[in-house]
Structure 1
Amino acid sequence: MFDPIASPLRIAFEGVDGVGKSTVIRAVRDRLSQGSEVLVDTMAPVMLDLLKRYGQSVAGDPQAYWTRVSRRTKTQCFLTEGIARSRYLRDDYRQFDVILYDRWWQTFRVYSKGNDEFDHRCRFLAQNLPSVDVLFYLHNDPATCAARLIADDDWLVREVGVDNIAGFLAVLHTEYRQVLDNDRSVIDIDTRGRSVDDIADQIVQSIATRLKVQGALRVQASQDRVTFPTKFQLPEMPIYAVEGMDGAGKTTVCSLLRSEQSPSVDLCRLSEVSLAMFKQAGTAAGRLPASAAIREQFEDEFRHQTYIIDGLVQLSCLAGGRTFARALFFDRWFPAFALYQDRILSDRGLFDFLLSMFPQPETLFYIDLDPGIATARLRERGDWMIQSYGETGTRDRLARMRDIYSVRIATMGNVRALDGQDLPANLVDQITRGMAP
């Protein structure tokens, strides 16, 4: 369980606001750190930072996002980061024996009002989070928790009201009980009248007893630490990207680039985690091709909202991760999201704001191609678009894509147009020379 090559032990802490999770987590960390490498992490610090920036931009108050963004969309933001973060930082997490999470997906289920807010889309995302080995549910008298929040002038008190906060927390506690019932990974921790040291000692003992690893915790060799993103940030190295309609040759060009580029250039697929997640779901549904299946299972709005969130989390993870690359090269960039921007109706203002947070690349290589030629290429390889829309429908869709790309790219600087009819090797050569320092 504590082999540094394997996945770390994941432990989550849940409980209503004011119960003392953060204080207890620090005490548990201090105890475990005497014999192991421990990381205290949160599920979605990047998206919380971006939501607060959005609140500041629209209302002059970071906490305004709480009322300006629907609860379902907030949940989607947080769960998507939890999934993406665990994948993009997977190798970095492995340098730790134990990860302590302050809250997990149950928080968002408890705060949601029924299945309208925590709907099938949220359940799908929750199912794709990494599983935790143990979840500690801390609880106390709601009045005690409320008194702590009032004393701290917590923002939740200002939102709910001093007279209502205790009742609000009591309802949350009841919801937690319903969500956590019959979950065998949950250990109930009653904190009433107990010191932090006493609670932390019980939790550490519970970990050892539950997992039967007494004495198994050990210190790993010291090594350079990666900086785990605690807010939205951008990589310091220059960013390049390639764009173009389906059939323009992006995948072929990127494959050639991957085989020819030195480690100094890190090739990335934008929003790679969510793309893989949706494709896996499509494959699991037993339909081929997966690309067509996911469009039947998940509406355009949900998928493209998720891609935007994922892309911003990906950039933040790249900013803090260990890399020796001098540059990043992305297969697709935010103009691809703009193609479907009109499909986003719920919380459109937030997603327009998030889309604006993508940086301008040093150079965007745009592979242009006649829609008729692109359609012929897609037909030859039996692409899902041909199967779904037919040749005429595909050609019409590609023509619309080309028009949207033309409008979007005209507003950008540093765009280099490439002829999609040119040989892939020549396109790679032009891109390589365009990235030369």
Structure 2
Amino acid sequence: MTYRIVALEGVDGSGKSTLLKSLQTSLSTHAKVVHARPARALSKAFRRIAEDGRPENLYQDALPAHFRHSAYLLESAVQFRYEQQRFEQADFVIFDRWRHTWAVYCEDVVEHRDWFARIETLLPHPDVLFWLRVDPEVAYERLVARQDRWVEAYSPAGLRAKITKLCERYEEVMRASGAVVLDGTGPAAEVHAEALAALAAEPTASAG
């Protein structure tokens, strides 16, 4: 691959979208940047099927988690085929989330586990993986401030509990990921500067 893959991971409210936009702006001054997300098509399809225009009906709660995990792996495995032309025109492809999200938000794959493990090996490795680590209460406050759809679907106590559980799961999943850890609770400008410095220090790797 001629382009570099940069992936951002972190719980909802960790600042991924803010960092993605700022990185895209900075890198675009001297490089071609593409924004992507693994399994975006299926996420949209699941939302249409399960929610039917009602934000309180979250597809994440309606569809079996292990089924979503399996489906996301399948789409992501072929995404680098159907997006090949667009990706190869870029210098950087920045992914909002990576496969670690499924390990955090979804249950383990249940059926045909060995086959899905082999499918997962088809996914390239990011040249740089960022993990925006954030305190659960900060993430909760950010979701409330932006009136995230989760705020409509859960009670305050329920949302706090969900965010706390997800943050704990990220601690487990990202422990051996080799990610560059960023303090998602810090000012956006500082997080951005630290991410840029890490990108500059990281040699271009083979993403095969």
Please state which band the TM-score falls in when normalised by the shorter chain. Answer: 0.7 to 0.9
When the two chains are superposed, the root-mean-square deviation of aligned CA atoms in Å is: 2.4
1:65 to partner: Cα distance:
2.7
Q: Is the 8 A contact 1:39 1:100 kept in 2?
A: yes
- Structure 1 residue 182 and structure 2 residue 186: aligned? no
Return the TM-score normalized by structure 2: 0.87
Change (3 A) 1:117 1:164: farther
Instruction: In structure 2, list runs of 5 or more residues that go unmatched.
Output: none
1:173 is matched with: 167
- Structure 1 residue 14 and structure 2 residue 6: aligned? no
- Structure 1 residue 158 and structure 2 residue 142: aligned? no
- Structure 1 residue 76 and structure 2 residue 70: aligned? yes
1:30 is matched with: 25
2:187 is matched with: 195
1:73 to partner: Cα distance:
1.4
Change (3 A) 1:109 1:120: farther
Range 36-45 or range 106-115, more displaced? 106-115
Change (3 A) 1:156 1:120: farther
CA distance in 1, matches of 2:192, 2:88: 24
1:143 to partner: Cα distance:
0.3
2:45 is matched with: 50
Alignment of 1:84-95 (within 5 A): 84-95=78-89
1:128 to partner: Cα distance:
2.1
Q: State the secondary structure of the residue aligned to 2:202.
A: helix
Q: State the secondary structure of the residue aligned to 2:141.
A: helix
1:76 to partner: Cα distance:
2.1
Change (3 A) 1:71 1:10: same
Q: Is the 8 A contact 1:112 1:118 kept in 2?
A: no
- Structure 1 residue 138 and structure 2 residue 150: aligned? no
CA distance in 1, matches of 2:152, 2:120: 29
CA distance in 1, matches of 2:61, 2:164: 21
Task: Pick from 25, 43, 66 the counterpart of residue 60 of structure 2.
Answer: 66
One-letter amino acid of the counterpart of residue 23, structure 2: V
One-letter amino acid of the counterpart of residue 127, structure 2: D
1:149 to partner: Cα distance:
1.0
Q: Is the 8 A contact 1:72 1:118 kept in 2?
A: no
Task: Pick from 201, 204, 207 the counterpart of residue 209 of structure 1.
Answer: 201
One-letter amino acid of the counterpart of residue 210, structure 1: E
Change (3 A) 1:116 1:77: closer
Which one has the largest radius of gyration? 1
CA distance in 2, matches of 1:68, 1:22: 25
Aligned residues: 204
Superposed CA deviations along residues 227-253 of structure 1, whole A, max 9, x for unmatched, are: xxxxxxxxxxxxxxxxxxxxxxxxxxx
Alignment of 1:296-311 (within 5 A): none
Change (3 A) 1:97 1:152: same
One-letter amino acid of the counterpart of residue 32, structure 2: E
CA distance in 2, matches of 1:64, 1:138: 24
Change (3 A) 1:137 1:118: farther
Q: Is the 8 A contact 2:140 2:163 kept in 1?
A: yes
- Structure 1 residue 112 and structure 2 residue 118: aligned? no
Instruction: In structure 1, list runs of 5 or more residues that go unmatched.
Output: 1-5, 214-437
Q: State the secondary structure of the residue aligned to 1:164.
A: helix
Matched-pair identity in %? 25
Q: State the secondary structure of the residue aligned to 2:143.
A: helix
- Structure 1 segments of 4+ aligned residues over 4 angstroms from their partners: 114-122
CA distance in 2, matches of 1:182, 1:11: 18
1:176 to partner: Cα distance:
1.4
1:22 to partner: Cα distance:
0.4
